[in-house]
Amino acid sequence: MDEKARHVPMRMCAICRKRAPKNTLTRFIQTSEKADPVPDQKQKAPGRGVYVCDEARCREAFSRRSAKRKAKGQEV
């Protein structure tokens, strides 16, 4: 009897645009307009999230980008 292959949800890193399985990326959410984005450990929080891969350059670029937008008064 063949086991069916389970579907693996894919997501895209917001920085490098590489596609990867959802469970290998970190999802960030913004809890309020003035707050910094925080990791969503369970990846189930309501609202829109942003996925970032674990590469150091992507994490650093995401931090810089969210800091710039916060300074301008925009949402992440």
- What are the pLDDT digits (tens) for 14-47? 999 999 999 999 999 988 877 788 999 999 999 8
Helix (H) or strand (E) holding 68: helix 56-72
| pTM for the predicted model, two decimal places | 0.77
CA distance 18 to 67: 23
65: left (phi over 0), alpha (psi -120 to 50) or beta: alpha
